[in-house]
Structure formats: C-alpha cells, structure tokens
Structure 1
Amino acid sequence: MAIREDVLVVGGGIAGATAALAAAESDAKVRLLSHKKSTLRQASGLVDVLGAIPRGGSTDGSGAVSDGAAPADEGSTDQSELVADPLAAIERLPEDHPYRVVGADGIRNGLEIFDDVVGDAYEGGHTDRNALVLTHGGTVKPTARYPQSVAPGLASAEKKTLLVGFAGLTDFDAPAAAAHLDAAGVPFDVDGATVTFPIQFRDDALTTRFAKALDKDQSGVRKRLADVVSEQLDDHERVGFPAMLGDDAGEEVRADLEDRLGAAVFQIPTGPPSLLGMQLEDLLFDALDAAGVRISSGNLAVGYEANDGRIESVLVDQRGNEVPYAAEEFVLATGGLVGKGIDSDRESVTEPVFGCHVPHPEDRYDWSEPAAFGAHAFARFGVVPDGDLRPTDGSGSEEFENLRAAGGVLGGADTAREKSAAGVSLATGAHAGRRAGEEATR
C-alpha cells in the first residue's frame, strides 16, 4: 500500500527544503524524500543570489558594464561582470534562465523563507545589494546572505586585517590569501600568519575536530589560542580565522576570542567538509521538523507510476523492494550534474527519476569549451520548465500535470559562473512548493 501525502518533494538540498517549507505553508501534508546527505556540507554556507554575469550574458550582447554590475578582477580568467544588485540585473540574464520564470518577486519570496528559517544567524536581509565576503582563496565574493560570524570581515569595512591559518591545516593558507587580497587592491591593509593550534591533532583531522575543542574549551584552548595570535596581532583591528571557531557554542567562542584579543574576530568560509554549510543544513532541517514536514532519507527514488498525464507515486528502493510514495502534487529537486539529479553517459543526458526531457547537443564534443572557465554547455544542462516550473518535453508541452522542478535540476543557469546556485534553489523552490501546496489543497 502506497504512503500518501498531499505534496511529495524529491531531494533534500536547499531547493527541496525550501519547496517543502513553502508547500507546508498551505497546510498541505508534505513529505521530503532524500537519498543522501545534502551537498550543503560541501558548500560555503553563503547564499549567493546573483554575483556575476558572464561576458556576453547581457540582453544587448555588448558585454558592457551596466546598472548593478562592476568589472571582474583584472587577473580573473573568468570573463564576467560582478553584480552589485542582483534584482536589478536579472533582466540581463538569458531568456531561459530560471530567474526569468519566477522574476524578482520569486527571488524575494525565496529569500523571505530563508530569512525566517535562519533568523539572526545570518545577515544581509536589510538590503537588496550584495555584500563582499573574503574567501579562503584570497578573493572577494559577492553574496546576498552570510553567517553572522562572517559579517565582521566584509571587504567594505576598511579595517587593518590579520588572517590566521594553522600549521598542518591545508584548507587555508593565510599568508597566500592575504597576498592575493593585497594584489587585488582591497581597500584595507591585510597580513597573514600561520600559527600552531594549541592542541595537536592528526594531520588529516577535519575542521570539526578543531571546532569541538573550542566549543568545550578543551585544555583552556581558547586562551592559549588567543595568546598565540596576540604575538602576531600588532595594530590589526580584526582577525579572520578559517570557519572552525566552534559549532554548538560558536558565538560564545568568537566573543571570547574578541575579548581576549581586543579585536573583531570573523570566520572565513572554507571548503568541504564545510562547518558553515553543515550548520545551515541543521537550520533548514530544524525548520522542516517545526513545520511538520515528514522526512524519509537514505533510500533512492528509482522511478514513478503515472496515469493519464499525472504522476501517482514515486518508487523508492528500500532493500531491493520498490516502495511507492503517493501524493497529489510532486516537486523534483534532486540537483544538477553534481548532485546526480541530472545523469549522463557518453551518448546522452537524462533526468533519472521521471525521465524528463533534457536538451543537449548530440555531439559530446559540443558539451564543453576548450577554456577551463569557458561557457560550457554542460553547466546549463537541465529540464526545461514552463511558466509554472513544470518540466516540458521536446515539443514544449508539460511532461506531467502535477510535477514541478526546482533548483539545480533546472536548465538554463550556469550557477557556478553566475554565483547564483543558492538563489536559484530558494526562488524556484519557493515557487514550486507554493504552487504544489495550493493545487493539492484547493
């Protein structure tokens, strides 16, 4: 017997969580199916709406800087324009971009759901304009929402800055990052120092080990860390550490270090496993629990049952048995090529759950460009939505009446170059989830 809901969301990332929360607002019974842990633990924890427009991406084809955009760093090999105001720039995106479907209001709706979820743990909600956040590679990244612990390090604050890395922790080379920022011409003095963490861990220890030690103040590690950093501090007004300053007691750790150092302390987003990404994942799933969304994880969606143009159930592999999960409305939010929501082999590109149409060049050599940071076709592979985010077939007709798609599984956006992945997930997740909830409960 099939498990039945009003709305079934397939996918547990930002898009899936947002869709489930939006559907739950209509008092629909919602279930979220997630195969694996979300890719948020590989993400920075920043929420980018639209950070850049690739050269030639403007509607007039000129590539000239227009309102809301600024030239990218001169040393960058990615020919793009940095965006100051994402909402002002969406009209310059290609016609098939998901933002052109949901519009500025759709982006705002997604951000409203996000802001409600994270509360005061994130900043940036006071303005439509991007903030400039320092990265672990020594660049400046435009982003719309950022953790509170990142805020004191914004590039717009002209404060003499010390970046601190740790011997043996390869995720962050503070002197190299400082040199890159200085060469990029940031409007403040920046220096980098590598110190020894007061507690010795194995060389392959994850940042979570450092975070837990600071949480518990194991062996007086906070004071000992402050003492080591004080030797490098001089007259620096703020100190940036890789994002490992505590987990459960992160704000307490940061406040303690600020008090001991007499300088502002901030975190710099790092690569996987990303502590900031995992903390965002926790916030989203806490919100899903509070909203009454049922969560089923650990099993792969392998197919579906349909009748007369409507999906009746999704089939989930549970120990070799195909178990049906039935619903009135469905949202596909399984991610793109990285998240395996879009699959490919040497011959074709497919959407593996519902078999939705994914347009792509027949010749595999046309899927990419010679330049590493070029306009690769594969980066924009995905299902093609109609005006209500329902996937369409090769003729432009809806695949199924009661299926909508959200996030990376949608085609038309080169989210890596645009710095728009989280924003696309929020905006389309909010739209798809809201419409699914409305249809299921009307």
Structure 2
Amino acid sequence: MRTTIVIGAGLSGLMGALALAEAGLRPLVLAKGQGATHWTAGTVDIWGGDERSPREALQEIGALHPHHPYALIGAHAVEEAIVRFRALTEAARYPYVGGLDRNILLPTSAGALRPAALLPVTMAAGDVRLGGTMLIAGFRELRDFYPPFIAANLAAQGMAARGVYLTIPPAFRRREYNPVTFARLFDNPAFCSDIGRQLRAQRGDATRIGLPAVLGLRDPTGVVAHLQDESGAQIFEIPTLPPSVPGMRLFALFQNAIEQAGGRVQIGSEVICGDGRDRLLTTVWSEAAARRQEHRVERALLATGGVAGGGIRTDHMGMVRETALDLPVRAPANRAAWFAPRFLDPQGHAIYTAGVATDAHLRPIGTDGAVVYDNVTVAGALLAGTDTVRERSRSGVSLATGWAAGRILAEWMA
C-alpha cells in the first residue's frame, strides 16, 4: 500500500512527486484529470509582471513580501528547482534553456510578445531579440493559428515578418485535425521532409521560421533539426491554443521519471475529502467512475491549483473552500471586492490571491496561525500570498514550491 500521496498532477504536483520518488517514498499521484501542463504554453514563467529580471524580482520579494511563496522557500530553493528541472528535461532529450538573469521574449499565436524564463529548446529561436526576418508558417486545417495575422501583428511592433500557409501532402490528409493530430504527423519523417521542402521554397530572405508548437510528440528536437536541414533556416515553435503539445511532452517525461523512480500516477481519481487526528492527516478518499477508494496516509502533498485550477471553489453566497481536504482558505472577505472593474486591470483581481496559508515549511495553517497537519505540505497556485496571474509567475511558483514541498515532506520524520 502506498502511503505517500500527492494530490494533483500539474507542474507543482509532478515536481513534488519526483522529489518524493527520488527519496525512495514511492508516491501515489491522485488527480481528477490532467493538470495545467495540457493547457499552458509549456514554458516556465518565473516572473514577468514588470521589467525586472526574475533574479531581481526574487531578491526584492524575499525582502519585501515575507508571505509570498517565493519568500517562504527562498531564492536558493527556486534555483535548486530550476537545476533539477533542467537536468530532468536534458535527460529526456527535450532540454529547456534560459534562466533567472533575463526573460526571453517569444511570439504568441496572436502575434503578441510574451516573456519566459525557461523554455524548450524547440522554441529558443523564437526570441524576437535575435533580429532578422521571420516567416510564420501554418496550416489552414489547424484552427486558431493564422500565420498572416501573427505576422501582421509582429510587423506592427517593428519586426520583419510575413505569414504563409503550407499544404498537407495528399498521403497524410485526414478528416479532422487538431494539435495532437499534427504532432503525430510530424513524427513521420516523410511528412517532415515534405513540409521542409515547402518551407525552403517559401522562406525567401527569412532566417527564422515559426511553426505551431506541434512538431512531434516522440522526438521534437529531432523534428526541428530535420526541418532546419530541409528548409535552410532556424525553426521555432509558437504555442497554440489547448491542447498543448509542449505541455503533453512535459507531462510524459515527468510521468516516466516518477514511475522509473518507483512512483505511480493515477489520473481519473479526484480526492474529495480527508480525515485526521492529532495534527496528522491519516486518510483521504478519492472518487473514480466506479467507486470511492480509501487511501491510508503517512505523508501528503496538496497541489490542486487555485481558483483557476479547481483547487478552490466559490459560490454565489461568497463562500470560498479548498476542495480536497477542506483546509482553511485565506481570501478577500467582501465578495464585491473580488474583481476589479476592468478584466485586464493592471492590479489584477483580488480573488486570485485566495489560497491556503502556510508556515515556512509549507504546512497548512489556520486562521489562528496554528499548523493544521504536520504531515501535509501545500504547493503551487493553491498557496495564498500572491496573484500569480498578475505577476506572470504561476508556472515558476508551481515548479519551485512543488520541488520544495516534496523535499520538505521527504525529510519529515526521516
């Protein structure tokens, strides 16, 4: 029986499960469904809320905002998590580049610019600071990715760019297309070769070519290298709307690493409640399609996401609750103050600061400041203390606190 439980399969839960598995604790990851990996860009945003570098922001947060998740774990823990993450992706032949010293500016599928601290090497050539002419290429069959629109918006911001559509070879045509369909097509070398030849014919004076982030599931770096050889230009991926192929790659490499280290990932098992005594969580219950299942607990890591991830729910009466263990939630008291008047208000929306408050060891605390469970740690967007949407730090907080929470839990009563 597995008694080390991780609740949630987003980036924070996966990082925590990896730390626990590598400590020999054979964690069981329980999740209602796939985490945020499947609907985000696949990059890691440590800090993008202003012009400061991630490293500068971490230093100032530590001094000025003691309850921020980054401050709770310390800048050293953020760097440690990044080192482990990069080693993991390198070993899986899907390396991530970047770091804390500066953000890299990447084009989005709308032609806007988005900062990222860490990104897969398949996106690296998309850094707009590299200069030169860009060709944005896509397929009419892939909805919500419009190369001329992307290129026009980039050009309006002073970047040389133009957009073209490519043709799917007759042998590879399907009735229905989505990002995963295209990723599987790019796993075929013959399909890649045909697309590469089309890119060479279309590229003109472009030195870099941006394609939707669907360049294979099995070996995306190999697909990029193949297309670069065929086209004669640098290739980079631009994230699409969900489902996120880069996120699916990330989830797969995490799952493989966790299971190789003795853990297990169980999707389709939503944790609905827990029970404990003497400040120890002893049992959780998960609900699947067929039945409710009881799990004995010695250690648990809670990483179900915040308001956006379903880890916190609200109702029309203004009640705010944590959904898995019914932990106390710190949230704005006045429901009328949850939202700013404008959707894109630079100050953000107060409700996104709602979360579970913790001590310095990421253990949940109540309104009186007392620890609720000594054998539970909390990670990711479920943590109170900040609005990660406004800060553009959501994936960075998840990465760093997930790793820290797993390490803390692994050392508990070791």
Structure-2 residue corresponding to 1:73: none
Q: What residue is the counterpart of 2:118 in the other structure?
A: 145
Conserved in 2, the CA contact under 8 Å of 1:51 and 1:86? no
1:76 maps to none
Q: How far is the alpha carbon of 1:320 from its aligned partner?
A: 6.3
Q: Deviations over 1:356-398 (max 9, x none)?
A: 1112234322110111112201111111111111111122221
Query: Residue in 2 aligned with 1:178?
Result: 151
Query: Are residues 406 and 84 of structure 1, via their aligned partners in 2, closer, same or farther at CA, if it must alter by over 3 Å?
Result: closer
- Which residue of structure 2 aligns with residue 367 of structure 1? 338
Q: Could you tell me which residue of structure 2 aligns to residue 297 of structure 1?
A: 267
Matched, 1:39 2:36: yes
Which position in structure 2 is the counterpart of 1:336? 306
Q: 2:153 & 2:73 partners in 1: Cα distance?
A: 37
Contact 1:12 1:334 in 2 (8 A): yes
* 1:356 matched to 2:353: no
Q: Cα–Cα, structure 1 residues 91 and 159, in superposed 2: closer, same or farther, change >3 Å?
A: farther
C-alpha separation between the residues in 2 aligned to 1:29 and 1:250?
30
Q: 1:253 to 1:432 in 2, by over 3 A?
A: closer
Residue 9 of structure 1 aligns with an amino acid whose one-letter code is V
Aligned to 1:131: 104
TM-score normalised to structure 1 length: 0.86
> What residue is the counterpart of 1:425 in the other structure?
398
Q: Does 2:207 align with 1:210?
A: no
Question: Between the two proteins, what is the percent identity of the paired residues?
Answer: 33
Q: CA deviation at 1:407?
A: 0.6
Question: Separation in 2 of the partners of 1:25 and 1:86?
Answer: 30
Offset, 1:204? 5.0
Kept in 1: contact 2:98–2:119 (CA 8 A): no
One-letter identity of the residue aligned with 2:88: V
Q: Deviations over 1:128-167 (max 9, x none)?
A: 3322222212122221211111112212212221111222
Distance in 2 separating the partners of 1:319 and 1:148: 39
Structure 2 counterpart of 1:8, from 5, 9, 12 = 5
CA distance, structure 1, for counterparts of residue 401 and residue 64 of structure 2: 16
Q: Which range is displaced more, 197-206 or 116-125? A: 197-206
The secondary structure found in structure 1 opposite 2:128 is coil
CA distance in 2, matches of 1:407, 1:287: 20
Is the aligned partner of 1:166 residue 2:166? Answer: no
2:357 equivalent among 384, 389, 400: 384
- Which of 115, 118, 130 aligns to 2:86? It is 115
Task: Tell me the distance in 2 between the aligned counterparts of 1:290 and 1:12.
Answer: 17
Q: Which amino acid aligns with 2:375?
A: N
> SS at 2:67's partner residue?
coil
How many Å separate the matches in 2 of 1:362 and 1:193? 51
CA distance in 1, matches of 2:359, 2:186: 49
Query: Alignment partner of 1:124: what SS?
Result: strand
For 1:343 and 1:202, the matched residues in 2 are separated by: 40
Would you say the 8 A contact 1:115–1:125 is kept in 2? Answer: no
Change (3 A) 1:380 1:203: farther
Pairing of 1:22-421 with structure 2 (within 5 A): 22-53=19-50, 68=52, 86-91=57-62, 94-119=65-90, 120-125=93-98, 128-186=101-159, 189-199=160-170, 201=173, 205-217=177-189, 220-318=190-288, 321-347=291-317, 348-374=319-345, 375-421=348-394
Bigger shift: residues 154-163 or 277-286 = 154-163
Would you say the 8 A contact 2:134–2:161 is kept in 1?
Answer: yes
Q: Which amino acid aligns with 1:162?
A: L
> Is the 1:41–1:273 Cα contact (8 Å) retained in structure 2?
yes
Shift in CA distance, 93/50, structure 1 to aligned 2, threshold 3 Å: farther
Tell me the CA shift for residue 84 of structure 1: 7.6
Unaligned runs of 5+ in 1: 54-64, 70-82
Structure 1 residue 350 displacement after superposition: 0.3
Q: Separation in 2 of the partners of 1:213 and 1:439?
A: 47
- Aligned partner of 1:247: which letter? L
SS at match of 1:239: strand
Between the two proteins, the alignment pairs up a number of residues equal to: 408
Q: Does the 8 A contact of 1:313 with 1:325 survive in 2?
A: yes
Point out the more displaced range, 201-210 or 394-403.
201-210
Aligned equivalents of 2:60, 2:136: Cα separation in 1: 33
Question: 1:31·1:295 contact (CA, 8 Å) conserved in 2?
Answer: yes
**1:4: how far off?**
4.4
Residue 356 of structure 2: SS of its match in structure 1? coil
Work out whether residues 15 and 429 of structure 1, in 8 Å CA contact, stay in contact via their aligned partners in 2. yes
The 1-side partners of 2:41 and 2:108 are apart by: 9
Mark the runs of 5 or more structure 2 residues left unpaired by the alignment.
none
Instruction: Report deviation, 1:343.
Output: 1.2
RMSD: 2.3
